[in-house]
Amino acid sequence: MRTQVAIIGGGPSGLLLGQLLHRQGIDAVVLERQTRDYVLGRIRAGVLEEGFVDLMAEAGVADRMEKEGIRHDGTVMAFGEHQVHIDFTRHAGRPVMVYGQTEVTRDLYDARAAAGATTLFQVEDVTLCDLETGKPYVLFRHEGQEKRIDCDFVAGCDGFHGVSRKTIPDNVRTEFEKVYPFGWLGILSETPPVHDELIYSNSERGFALCSMRSHTLSRYYVQCPLTDKAEDWSDDAFWAELKRRIPSEHAANLVTGPSIEKSIAPLRSFVSEPMRWGSLFLCGDAAHIVPPTGAKGLNSAASDVYYLYHGLLSHYLEKDGAGLEAYSEKALARVWKTQRFSWWMTSLLHRFPDQGPFDLKMQVAEMAFLAENDDAQATLARNYVGLPY
């Protein structure tokens, strides 16, 4: 088999890259380890920057998102009972879109199928070969047979546990990591959201987040120890704890119900440099992970896709390799800025096991400064809605 770009990983970043390339007449094959149903069964975030929304439109898959998604002009930051409203439209000139990652992925799969583009599921034993020779190829096992794809480039969109990043030699690759001493217990429920905007709350009992997927589907989180297990938390215990951690006016309006999904996610910051090695380009979680506090995970992947897509366009349509040569540097420059924002949000809103009275006073002062200072609110808003590519 021969293609121009072999995309390893059939999550949203790999699919978005594939769809963008397809619309420009550039051939790409997507290899996915799991089944389509498995990928669509994963519950992920749903706050999209305008840059991501624009890429979906360019890829021709924005119609359902525009119809069913919810544009948010702001968010609420709470510290105990005190609340600060951050106005995205006033401070940054644009909103964010709430539209679940599962729905993004479904739209991209449907578009890929309609285009007749090749996606291979349940692919095993992927090996990336000759990445430094200019004639790379991918070996893998599919439907019981050993197969090979020859290509010009490989896009590693296969996540933290995938093969792509690990293919870069240890003496070339440098990894940076910060592991946070807590996780997020999250539930999904068929209940109306407690508020029409997201609520980020720092309480004496720990962090909480009130989010949503639609007008009838809500997503809620509470900070928990890493030793907790989701099955240890009953729905009643979760709702009671959430009410204790959000301002009383919102707790009074909270509609509870049975959870349809419940899980605990650890929090960490991770970056691997460089994001290019020979003909291999890393995208998304294959190269970097952020805590979910700043809603940057999927959005950071989208910025990688933007830089790689435009680099490939220049290479194929204009015979200009400058964009691909600059890919890693450009992508990492933005990645570290999103890491900084996610780290700041996480530090401000969570209670840490070793937190002393001084640290708590710093959080209180930071929140007070945010409430009183227009420039501080503008900085938060501009980072949240997305830095320019």
DSSP 256: P
Is position 258 annotated as part of the catalytic site? no
Is position 274 annotated as part of the catalytic site? no
E strand or H helix that includes residue 73: none
Give yes or no for a contact between 179 and 266, defined as CB atoms under 8 angstroms apart.
Answer: yes
Cis peptide before 258 (omega within 30 of 0): no
Catalytic residue among 247, 288, 292, 327: 292
CA neighbor of 186 nearest in space, from 227, 224, 225: 224
Give yes or no for a contact between 191 and 257, defined as CB atoms under 8 angstroms apart.
Answer: yes
Catalytic residue among 296, 315, 330, 350: 296
Q: Within the chain, what is the greatest distance between any pair of CA atoms?
A: 64
Catalytic residue among 200, 220, 306, 309: 200
Is position 292 annotated as part of the catalytic site? yes
Cis peptide before 192 (omega within 30 of 0): no
Strand 218-224 to strand 145-150: parallel, antiparallel, or no bridges (unpaired)?
Answer: unpaired
Is position 309 annotated as part of the catalytic site? no
Residue 234 neighbours by CB under 8 Å, 6+ apart: none
Query: Tokens for 218?
Result: 């809500």
Give yes or no for a contact between 222 and 238, defined as CB atoms under 8 angstroms apart.
Answer: yes
Distance (Å, whole) CA 194 – CA 223: 18
Give yes or no for a contact between 180 and 355, defined as CB atoms under 8 angstroms apart.
Answer: no
Residue 266 neighbours by CB under 8 Å, 6+ apart: 179, 180, 183, 226
E strand or H helix that includes residue 108: helix 101-115
Q: Which amino acid is at 171?
A: N
Is position 316 annotated as part of the catalytic site? no
Q: How far is CA 255 from the centre of its chain?
A: 27
| CB neighbours of residue 368 within 10 Å | 13
Catalytic residue among 137, 306, 307, 384: 384
User: Which residue carries 């297990």 as its tokens?
Assistant: 229
Side-chain-side CA neighbours of residue 302 (13 Å): 26
Catalytic residue among 22, 72, 91, 315: 72
Residue numbers annotated as active site: 72, 200, 292, 296, 384
